[in-house]
Chain A
Amino acid sequence: GQQLNQSPQSMFIQEGEDVSMNCTSSSIFNTWLWYKQDPGEGPVLLIALYKAGELTSNGRLTAQFGITRKDSFLNISASIPSDVGIYFCAGRGAGGTSYGKLTFGQGTILTVHP
C-alpha cells in the first residue's frame, strides 16, 4: 500500500525560530495535505496542495507540492508557543485504490520553548 515517510519525527525549538518538515512517498500523489493535531483533539487541516510545484501559504505556514509529486514540505516561520502539536502530512494517491482514503505520515511532534 501507499506509505508516507515524514521527517523529522520530533523537533525542539526556541520561540521565534523557523521550522521545516517534509514528507516523501514511494508513489505519486495527486493531493498533498498538512494537518495539525493539538493535544486531546483531532487533526485540523492547515494547507491543501493540488498541483505539482504549487506553493501555498496560510499565515506563517508555507507548504509546497514537490515537482515529482512524491514529496511535500511545510515551513513555519517565527514559531510561537501555540504552534506546539503534532503535524501530519497526508496525501491521496493516483488510481482507484485511493478512492475514499487519505494516507497519513507518521507525524512530526513540535515543541516550542518560550
Chain B
Amino acid sequence: DTAVSQTPKYLVTQMGNDKSIKCEQNLGHDTMYWYKQDSKKFLKIMFSYNNKELIINETVPNRFSPKSPDKAHLNLHINSLELGDSAVYFCASSQDPMSYGYTFGSGTRLTVV
C-alpha cells in the first residue's frame, strides 16, 4: 500500500489549459502539503492544510487552488497554465503541523508546452 499517492505521475499540457493533480494519504495524518521542485531541484512549500483547513499559503499565484475534501485528500488545481509552471509537484503529509516526519509522494512531473 502506497502511503502518499499522487496522480498522475506525468502530465504534459499546453499553455492556457487547466489541470488538476490529486493526492491521497492512508497514514491517518492530519496535515498535508504541496511542494514545488524546480529544475534546480529546489523544494519550496506552496500550501499546507491541517484537518481540511488551509494553514499555509506561500505567495503562490491565485491560478493555483488547493482543495481538501477530507483530511486524507489534498488536490491541486491549476488554471491558465504557464511555461514557468513546469516542475515536479510533491504532495506530503505529517501527523500534525509541527511533526518533522513528512512522508512524500513520488511526485507529479508537469510539463507545459
Contact = CB atoms under 8 A, between A and B. Distances in A.
B106 A40 contact: yes
A31 interface: yes
A86 B45 contact: no
B101 interface: yes
Given A99-B55, A100-B55, A109-B41, A45 B48 contact: no
A107 interface: yes
A33 B58 CA distance: 21
B56 interface: yes
Interface residues of B, number: 26
Interface in B1-47: 4, 31, 33, 35, 40-45
A48 B102 CA distance: 11
Contact of A43 (B40, B43, B56): B43
B102 A45 contact: yes
A41 B9 CA distance: 10
Interface-central residue, B58, B90, B104, by most chain A CB under 10 Å: B104
B97 A100 contact: yes
Contacts of A86: 41
Chain A interface size band reads 20 to 34
A69 to B, nearest CB: 15
Nearest to B54: A100
B102 A41 contact: no
A60 interface: no
Contacts of B107: 40-42
Interface in B76-113: 90, 92, 97-98, 100-102, 104-107
A106 B42 contact: yes
Given A31-B100, A33-B100, A101 B43 contact: no
Contacts of B48: 100-101
A29 B19 CA distance: 37
Given A42-B92, A88-B43, A102 B104 contact: no
B75 interface: no
* Most B Cβ at <10 Å: residue of A40, A43, A44, A86: A43
Interface of A: 31, 33, 37, 40-45, 48, 86, 88, 92, 99-104, 106-107, 109
